[in-house]
Structure 1
Amino acid sequence: MSSDSLFKFARIAGVASLVAVAGLLSACQVKPLYAVSTGVTQKLSQVSFSETGSRVGQEVRNQLIFIAGRGAGETKTPRYTVDLSVSSSIGGVLYLPSSDTSAAGRTTVTASFVLKEKDTGKVLKSSTRAVTSLIDFPTQEFAKYRAILNSEDRAAREVAEMVAADIAAALSR
Protein backbone atom coordinates (compact mmCIF):
# COMPACT_ATOMS: atom_id res chain seq x y z
CA MET A 1 0.00 0.00 0.00
CA SER A 2 1.19 3.46 -0.75
CA SER A 3 1.38 6.26 1.78
CA ASP A 4 -1.52 8.07 0.03
CA SER A 5 -3.83 5.08 0.44
CA LEU A 6 -2.80 4.67 4.10
CA PHE A 7 -3.54 8.35 4.70
CA LYS A 8 -6.99 8.01 3.05
CA PHE A 9 -7.73 4.87 5.09
CA ALA A 10 -6.72 6.60 8.34
CA ARG A 11 -8.84 9.62 7.45
CA ILE A 12 -11.89 7.50 6.64
CA ALA A 13 -11.41 5.49 9.87
CA GLY A 14 -11.11 8.72 11.88
CA VAL A 15 -14.28 10.18 10.38
CA ALA A 16 -16.14 6.89 10.92
CA SER A 17 -15.09 6.76 14.57
CA LEU A 18 -16.17 10.40 15.12
CA VAL A 19 -19.59 9.63 13.61
CA ALA A 20 -19.91 6.53 15.80
CA VAL A 21 -18.98 8.43 18.99
CA ALA A 22 -21.37 11.26 18.10
CA GLY A 23 -24.15 8.72 17.59
CA LEU A 24 -23.49 7.09 20.96
CA LEU A 25 -23.38 10.43 22.77
CA SER A 26 -26.62 11.61 21.16
CA ALA A 27 -28.39 8.58 22.67
CA CYS A 28 -27.32 9.62 26.17
CA GLN A 29 -30.27 11.06 28.14
CA VAL A 30 -28.63 12.37 31.29
CA LYS A 31 -30.58 15.11 33.07
CA PRO A 32 -30.00 16.79 36.42
CA LEU A 33 -32.14 15.15 39.11
CA TYR A 34 -33.64 18.44 40.32
CA ALA A 35 -34.04 20.02 36.86
CA VAL A 36 -37.22 22.05 36.45
CA SER A 37 -38.09 20.17 33.25
CA THR A 38 -38.26 16.84 35.13
CA GLY A 39 -40.96 18.11 37.52
CA VAL A 40 -39.19 16.59 40.53
CA THR A 41 -39.11 19.81 42.53
CA GLN A 42 -42.89 20.19 42.19
CA LYS A 43 -43.46 16.54 43.13
CA LEU A 44 -41.11 16.84 46.11
CA SER A 45 -43.09 19.82 47.37
CA GLN A 46 -46.16 17.54 47.49
CA VAL A 47 -44.63 14.97 49.87
CA SER A 48 -45.69 14.71 53.50
CA PHE A 49 -43.62 12.92 56.13
CA SER A 50 -44.93 10.90 59.07
CA GLU A 51 -44.21 11.87 62.65
CA THR A 52 -41.29 10.19 64.37
CA GLY A 53 -40.95 9.33 68.04
CA SER A 54 -37.45 10.51 68.89
CA ARG A 55 -35.35 13.66 68.89
CA VAL A 56 -33.07 12.28 66.16
CA GLY A 57 -36.11 11.20 64.15
CA GLN A 58 -37.48 14.72 64.40
CA GLU A 59 -34.15 16.10 63.15
CA VAL A 60 -34.33 13.81 60.10
CA ARG A 61 -37.98 14.72 59.49
CA ASN A 62 -37.32 18.47 59.78
CA GLN A 63 -34.43 18.24 57.33
CA LEU A 64 -36.57 16.26 54.87
CA ILE A 65 -39.35 18.84 55.08
CA PHE A 66 -36.82 21.60 54.43
CA ILE A 67 -35.33 19.79 51.42
CA ALA A 68 -38.68 18.76 49.93
CA GLY A 69 -40.31 22.15 50.36
CA ARG A 70 -37.19 24.16 49.46
CA GLY A 71 -37.53 25.94 52.80
CA ALA A 72 -41.26 26.65 52.45
CA GLY A 73 -42.32 24.19 55.16
CA GLU A 74 -44.78 21.32 55.08
CA THR A 75 -47.18 20.90 52.20
CA LYS A 76 -50.87 21.53 52.78
CA THR A 77 -52.00 19.29 49.90
CA PRO A 78 -49.84 16.16 49.80
CA ARG A 79 -49.96 13.78 46.80
CA TYR A 80 -47.34 11.47 48.31
CA THR A 81 -46.71 10.24 51.84
CA VAL A 82 -43.54 8.93 53.43
CA ASP A 83 -43.76 6.58 56.40
CA LEU A 84 -40.53 7.29 58.23
CA SER A 85 -38.82 5.26 60.96
CA VAL A 86 -35.57 6.51 62.48
CA SER A 87 -33.27 4.94 65.05
CA SER A 88 -29.88 5.90 66.42
CA SER A 89 -27.18 4.19 68.42
CA ILE A 90 -23.99 5.32 70.11
CA GLY A 91 -20.98 3.14 70.77
CA GLY A 92 -17.40 3.49 71.90
CA VAL A 93 -14.58 2.44 69.61
CA LEU A 94 -11.33 3.28 71.44
CA TYR A 95 -11.49 1.52 74.78
CA LEU A 96 -9.09 2.79 77.45
CA PRO A 97 -8.50 -0.03 79.98
CA SER A 98 -6.88 2.32 82.51
CA SER A 99 -10.09 4.32 82.99
CA ASP A 100 -12.61 1.73 81.74
CA THR A 101 -14.01 4.28 79.27
CA SER A 102 -13.91 5.08 75.56
CA ALA A 103 -12.07 8.10 74.19
CA ALA A 104 -13.89 8.01 70.86
CA GLY A 105 -17.04 6.55 69.45
CA ARG A 106 -19.54 6.57 66.68
CA THR A 107 -23.15 7.54 66.23
CA THR A 108 -25.17 5.59 63.68
CA VAL A 109 -28.49 6.96 62.47
CA THR A 110 -30.67 4.60 60.43
CA ALA A 111 -33.73 5.77 58.52
CA SER A 112 -36.23 3.42 56.91
CA PHE A 113 -38.92 4.87 54.68
CA VAL A 114 -41.80 3.90 52.44
CA LEU A 115 -42.89 6.37 49.74
CA LYS A 116 -46.53 5.95 48.69
CA GLU A 117 -49.07 7.71 46.50
CA LYS A 118 -51.59 9.16 48.93
CA ASP A 119 -54.74 8.41 46.93
CA THR A 120 -53.97 4.86 45.80
CA GLY A 121 -51.58 3.69 48.50
CA LYS A 122 -49.27 2.36 45.79
CA VAL A 123 -45.71 1.94 47.08
CA LEU A 124 -43.26 3.82 44.88
CA LYS A 125 -40.09 3.19 46.88
CA SER A 126 -39.00 1.69 50.16
CA SER A 127 -35.48 1.61 51.47
CA THR A 128 -33.22 1.91 54.47
CA ARG A 129 -30.28 4.29 54.73
CA ALA A 130 -27.69 4.55 57.49
CA VAL A 131 -24.99 7.09 58.29
CA THR A 132 -22.20 6.83 60.84
CA SER A 133 -20.71 9.92 62.43
CA LEU A 134 -17.51 9.69 64.44
CA ILE A 135 -17.15 11.43 67.79
CA ASP A 136 -14.52 12.20 70.42
CA PHE A 137 -15.65 11.77 74.01
CA PRO A 138 -14.30 14.55 76.25
CA THR A 139 -13.78 13.84 79.94
CA GLN A 140 -16.29 16.47 81.08
CA GLU A 141 -19.82 15.01 81.16
CA PHE A 142 -21.69 18.03 79.74
CA ALA A 143 -19.17 18.35 76.89
CA LYS A 144 -19.57 14.63 76.21
CA TYR A 145 -23.37 15.00 76.10
CA ARG A 146 -23.11 17.98 73.68
CA ALA A 147 -20.65 16.05 71.49
CA ILE A 148 -23.12 13.16 71.28
CA LEU A 149 -25.98 15.53 70.34
CA ASN A 150 -23.86 17.22 67.68
CA SER A 151 -22.83 13.84 66.26
CA GLU A 152 -26.47 12.71 66.11
CA ASP A 153 -27.46 15.95 64.37
CA ARG A 154 -24.68 15.56 61.76
CA ALA A 155 -25.69 11.98 61.02
CA ALA A 156 -29.39 12.95 60.90
CA ARG A 157 -28.71 15.68 58.31
CA GLU A 158 -26.66 13.32 56.16
CA VAL A 159 -29.18 10.49 56.27
CA ALA A 160 -31.97 12.95 55.40
CA GLU A 161 -29.99 14.04 52.30
CA MET A 162 -29.69 10.40 51.23
CA VAL A 163 -33.38 9.70 51.79
CA ALA A 164 -34.36 12.87 49.92
CA ALA A 165 -32.20 11.84 46.95
CA ASP A 166 -33.85 8.39 46.94
CA ILE A 167 -37.31 9.98 47.02
CA ALA A 168 -36.42 12.45 44.25
CA ALA A 169 -35.09 9.61 42.09
CA ALA A 170 -38.28 7.59 42.62
CA LEU A 171 -40.47 10.57 41.78
CA SER A 172 -38.48 11.37 38.63
CA ARG A 173 -39.50 8.08 37.00
Structure 2
Amino acid sequence: MSSDSLFKFARIAGVASLVAVAGLLSACQVRPLYAVSTGVTQKLSEVSFSDVGTRVSQEVRNQLVFIAGRGAGETKTPKYNVVLSVTSGTGGVLYLPSSDTSAAGRTTVTASFTLKDIGTGKVLKSGSRSVTSLVDFPTQEFAKQRAILNSEDKAAREVAEMIAADIAAALSR
Protein backbone atom coordinates (compact mmCIF):
# COMPACT_ATOMS: atom_id res chain seq x y z
CA MET A 1 0.00 0.00 0.00
CA SER A 2 1.46 3.34 -1.02
CA SER A 3 1.77 6.29 1.34
CA ASP A 4 -0.68 8.28 -0.83
CA SER A 5 -3.44 5.67 -0.49
CA LEU A 6 -2.66 5.31 3.23
CA PHE A 7 -3.08 9.09 3.63
CA LYS A 8 -6.45 8.97 1.80
CA PHE A 9 -7.62 6.10 4.01
CA ALA A 10 -6.63 7.98 7.20
CA ARG A 11 -8.38 11.11 5.94
CA ILE A 12 -11.60 9.21 5.14
CA ALA A 13 -11.47 7.47 8.53
CA GLY A 14 -10.99 10.82 10.28
CA VAL A 15 -13.97 12.38 8.47
CA ALA A 16 -16.12 9.32 9.24
CA SER A 17 -15.15 9.52 12.93
CA LEU A 18 -16.01 13.22 13.03
CA VAL A 19 -19.44 12.59 11.48
CA ALA A 20 -20.10 9.73 13.95
CA VAL A 21 -19.17 11.88 16.96
CA ALA A 22 -21.33 14.74 15.70
CA GLY A 23 -24.25 12.33 15.32
CA LEU A 24 -23.83 11.01 18.85
CA LEU A 25 -23.61 14.50 20.32
CA SER A 26 -26.73 15.66 18.48
CA ALA A 27 -28.69 12.84 20.14
CA CYS A 28 -27.71 14.10 23.60
CA GLN A 29 -30.76 15.19 25.63
CA VAL A 30 -29.04 16.92 28.54
CA ARG A 31 -30.78 20.05 29.78
CA PRO A 32 -30.96 21.94 33.05
CA LEU A 33 -33.50 20.46 35.48
CA TYR A 34 -35.02 23.85 36.38
CA ALA A 35 -34.91 25.29 32.84
CA VAL A 36 -37.88 27.47 31.94
CA SER A 37 -38.49 25.48 28.76
CA THR A 38 -39.10 22.27 30.76
CA GLY A 39 -42.02 23.77 32.70
CA VAL A 40 -40.69 22.33 35.96
CA THR A 41 -40.59 25.73 37.66
CA GLN A 42 -44.31 26.23 36.98
CA LYS A 43 -45.17 22.69 38.10
CA LEU A 44 -43.12 23.05 41.28
CA SER A 45 -45.05 26.19 42.17
CA GLU A 46 -48.24 24.07 42.02
CA VAL A 47 -47.10 21.59 44.70
CA SER A 48 -48.55 21.61 48.21
CA PHE A 49 -46.99 19.90 51.19
CA SER A 50 -48.76 18.05 54.01
CA ASP A 51 -48.75 19.44 57.53
CA VAL A 52 -46.28 17.81 59.87
CA GLY A 53 -45.83 17.58 63.62
CA THR A 54 -42.28 17.88 64.94
CA ARG A 55 -39.94 20.86 64.78
CA VAL A 56 -37.52 19.08 62.43
CA SER A 57 -40.29 17.93 60.10
CA GLN A 58 -41.58 21.51 60.01
CA GLU A 59 -38.08 22.66 59.01
CA VAL A 60 -38.08 20.16 56.12
CA ARG A 61 -41.56 21.29 55.04
CA ASN A 62 -40.67 25.00 55.24
CA GLN A 63 -37.57 24.45 53.10
CA LEU A 64 -39.61 22.52 50.52
CA VAL A 65 -42.23 25.29 50.39
CA PHE A 66 -39.47 27.86 49.90
CA ILE A 67 -37.76 25.85 47.14
CA ALA A 68 -40.98 24.95 45.31
CA GLY A 69 -42.42 28.46 45.45
CA ARG A 70 -39.06 30.15 44.84
CA GLY A 71 -39.62 32.19 48.00
CA ALA A 72 -43.21 33.16 47.18
CA GLY A 73 -44.79 30.89 49.80
CA GLU A 74 -47.41 28.19 49.47
CA THR A 75 -49.58 27.83 46.40
CA LYS A 76 -53.29 28.64 46.63
CA THR A 77 -54.25 26.30 43.77
CA PRO A 78 -52.23 23.08 44.10
CA LYS A 79 -52.24 20.45 41.36
CA TYR A 80 -49.86 18.13 43.21
CA ASN A 81 -49.55 17.14 46.85
CA VAL A 82 -46.57 15.78 48.78
CA VAL A 83 -47.19 13.77 51.93
CA LEU A 84 -44.16 13.94 54.24
CA SER A 85 -43.03 11.77 57.11
CA VAL A 86 -39.88 12.92 58.91
CA THR A 87 -37.87 11.34 61.72
CA SER A 88 -34.70 12.57 63.39
CA GLY A 89 -32.32 11.56 66.11
CA THR A 90 -29.02 12.64 67.64
CA GLY A 91 -26.50 10.39 69.32
CA GLY A 92 -22.97 10.61 70.66
CA VAL A 93 -20.12 8.93 68.83
CA LEU A 94 -16.92 9.85 70.71
CA TYR A 95 -17.32 8.62 74.27
CA LEU A 96 -15.00 10.17 76.89
CA PRO A 97 -14.68 7.77 79.83
CA SER A 98 -13.12 10.42 82.09
CA SER A 99 -16.24 12.59 82.03
CA ASP A 100 -18.82 9.92 81.08
CA THR A 101 -19.99 12.08 78.14
CA SER A 102 -19.61 12.31 74.38
CA ALA A 103 -17.52 15.04 72.73
CA ALA A 104 -19.15 14.69 69.33
CA GLY A 105 -22.20 13.17 67.76
CA ARG A 106 -24.29 12.88 64.67
CA THR A 107 -27.80 13.93 63.81
CA THR A 108 -29.69 11.89 61.25
CA VAL A 109 -32.81 13.21 59.54
CA THR A 110 -34.81 10.79 57.40
CA ALA A 111 -37.76 11.92 55.30
CA SER A 112 -40.17 9.75 53.34
CA PHE A 113 -42.37 11.40 50.75
CA THR A 114 -45.12 10.61 48.27
CA LEU A 115 -45.92 12.95 45.35
CA LYS A 116 -49.48 12.62 44.04
CA ASP A 117 -51.43 14.27 41.25
CA ILE A 118 -54.45 15.77 43.06
CA GLY A 119 -56.75 15.47 40.04
CA THR A 120 -56.18 11.79 39.36
CA GLY A 121 -54.82 10.59 42.70
CA LYS A 122 -51.98 8.90 40.81
CA VAL A 123 -48.69 8.51 42.69
CA LEU A 124 -46.00 10.18 40.57
CA LYS A 125 -43.04 9.55 42.87
CA SER A 126 -42.33 8.19 46.30
CA GLY A 127 -39.08 7.72 48.13
CA SER A 128 -37.01 8.26 51.19
CA ARG A 129 -33.93 10.41 51.76
CA SER A 130 -31.60 10.54 54.72
CA VAL A 131 -28.86 12.96 55.77
CA THR A 132 -26.39 12.73 58.63
CA SER A 133 -24.92 15.91 60.07
CA LEU A 134 -21.99 15.84 62.47
CA VAL A 135 -22.04 17.91 65.65
CA ASP A 136 -19.56 18.78 68.40
CA PHE A 137 -20.91 18.73 71.95
CA PRO A 138 -19.62 21.65 74.06
CA THR A 139 -19.41 21.22 77.84
CA GLN A 140 -22.15 23.80 78.53
CA GLU A 141 -25.62 22.27 78.32
CA PHE A 142 -27.23 25.27 76.59
CA ALA A 143 -24.46 25.37 73.98
CA LYS A 144 -24.87 21.62 73.45
CA GLN A 145 -28.63 21.97 72.86
CA ARG A 146 -28.02 24.87 70.45
CA ALA A 147 -25.45 22.78 68.56
CA ILE A 148 -27.96 19.94 68.24
CA LEU A 149 -30.64 22.35 66.93
CA ASN A 150 -28.19 23.73 64.36
CA SER A 151 -27.26 20.21 63.30
CA GLU A 152 -30.93 19.26 62.90
CA ASP A 153 -31.59 22.40 60.84
CA LYS A 154 -28.65 21.69 58.56
CA ALA A 155 -29.71 18.09 57.96
CA ALA A 156 -33.33 19.20 57.39
CA ARG A 157 -32.23 21.70 54.72
CA GLU A 158 -30.14 19.09 52.93
CA VAL A 159 -32.95 16.50 53.01
CA ALA A 160 -35.37 19.10 51.62
CA GLU A 161 -33.00 19.93 48.76
CA MET A 162 -32.71 16.25 47.81
CA ILE A 163 -36.48 15.74 47.96
CA ALA A 164 -37.05 18.90 45.90
CA ALA A 165 -34.68 17.56 43.23
CA ASP A 166 -36.56 14.23 43.22
CA ILE A 167 -39.89 16.04 42.86
CA ALA A 168 -38.56 18.27 40.08
CA ALA A 169 -37.22 15.23 38.20
CA ALA A 170 -40.59 13.46 38.52
CA LEU A 171 -42.50 16.54 37.32
CA SER A 172 -40.17 17.05 34.35
CA ARG A 173 -41.27 13.77 32.76
Match of 1:93 in 2: 93
What is the rounded CA distance, in whole Å, between the counterparts of 2:94 and 2:127 in structure 1? Answer: 31
Match of 2:17 in 1: 17
Question: What is the correspondence of 1:119-130 to structure 2 with a 5 Å cutoff?
Answer: 119-130=119-130
Deviation at 1:121, TM superposition (A): 0.9
Give the TM-score normalised by structure 1. Answer: 0.99
Match of 1:143 in 2: 143
Amino acid at match of 2:24: L
Q: For 1:1-45, what per-residue CA distance to the aligned partner results, in whole angstroms no more than 9, with x for missing partners? A: 111111111111000000000001111111110000100000000
Match of 1:66 in 2: 66
Q: For 1:139-162, what per-residue CA distance to the aligned partner results, in whole angstroms no more than 9, with x for missing partners? A: 000000000000000000000000
Deviation at 1:64, TM superposition (A): 0.2
Amino acid at match of 1:52: V
Match of 2:46 in 1: 46
Q: For 1:101-158, what per-residue CA distance to the aligned partner results, in whole angstroms no more than 9, with x for missing partners? A: 1100000000100000012110000000000000000000000000000000000000
What is the rounded CA distance, in whole Å, between the counterparts of 2:15 and 2:100 in structure 1? Answer: 72
Deviation at 1:98, TM superposition (A): 1.2
Match of 1:167 in 2: 167
Deviates more, 1:3-12 or 1:123-132: 3-12
Amino acid at match of 2:134: L
Q: Which runs of 5+ in 2 are unaligned?
A: none
Amino acid at match of 1:168: A
Q: Secondary structure at the match of 2:159?
A: helix
Amino acid at match of 1:120: T
Q: Secondary structure at the match of 2:24?
A: helix
How many aligned residue pairs are there?
A: 173
What is the rounded CA distance, in whole Å, between the counterparts of 1:80 and 1:138 in structure 2? Answer: 43
Give the TM-score normalised by structure 2. Answer: 0.99
% identical equivalent positions:
86
Match of 1:153 in 2: 153
How much is the aligned-residue C-alpha RMSD, in angstroms? 0.5
Match of 1:133 in 2: 133
What is the rounded CA distance, in whole Å, between the counterparts of 2:90 and 2:38 in structure 1? Answer: 39
Q: Secondary structure at the match of 1:6?
A: helix
What is the rounded CA distance, in whole Å, between the counterparts of 1:152 and 1:136 in structure 2? Answer: 13
Q: Secondary structure at the match of 2:74?
A: coil
